Amino acid sequence: MDMILHNLFVFFKGTHKQFITQHGFSHPALAEFFHLTHYQDHEFTPQLQQSILRELRLRHAEREQQFDSSPFSVFQQAVATLASRIELNAAESAILAFTLQLHQERLLDETADWLGLVTSVNVYRILATLLDFPESEMRAALGADSLLMQTGLISLETSGSHSLRNKLEPFSPTLCERPSAGG
């Protein structure tokens, strides 16, 4: 499954009520992304809201089953190649890929904003949920001694509460664009 789509679905575990409201969808572009625009002229009763949520969960379950057989995208191949060359472990590689996509994909960034301001402790928990790793591995991968942090490919803002995007920063703004461009 496309990593962005997977992460958007996972964000719905805690934020679906901010997207599907009694007044409709709070984010028209996301509704379009999920092919839900046919509901826009309906009255968003609690029953319809639950029906839409069930539909999204069903789609997610179907996509999860297809995930293992999906070919890697250019982005995933580029990140895997980089991770292999510098010998990142699986958790570090997943964090790198997620951080790059968070800074490149507007819908992912805007959906992550529904989490509000987060602390470093929240970042470990969020990444553990999104990337399906134990929280301890996320802590280790973002620790000062990790290869990911030592190479400086990304940085973790450890002070205060910030948006997820501002907690996880790529080394270079153009680094997020290169893997998708295939270069």
Average pLDDT score over residue span 47-67: 79
Are 15 and 101 in a shared domain?
A: no
Say whether both 56 and 79 belong to one domain: no
Q: Which residue has the higher pLDDT, 15 or 28?
A: 28
Indicate if 88 and 58 belong to the same structural domain: no
Is the confidence at residue 104, as pLDDT, over 90? no
Q: Is the same domain home to 99 and 149?
A: yes
> Highest mean pLDDT: which of 50-54, 122-126, 128-132?
122-126
| Beta bridge partner(s), residue 21 | 24
**Average pLDDT in the 50-69 region?**
75
Q: Are residues 13 and 60 in the same domain?
A: yes
Same domain, 147 and 173: yes
**Which domain does 18 fall in, by range?**
3-67
37-72: burial string, b at 16+ Cβ within 10 Å, e else: eebeeeebeeeebeebeeebeeebeeeeeeeeeeee
Number of other CB atoms surrounding residue 95 within 10 Å: 28
Q: What domain count does the chain have?
A: 2
pTM of the model: 0.70
For residues 63 and 78, state if they share a domain. no
The pLDDT of residue 1:
41
Q: Residue 67: is its pLDDT beyond 60? A: no
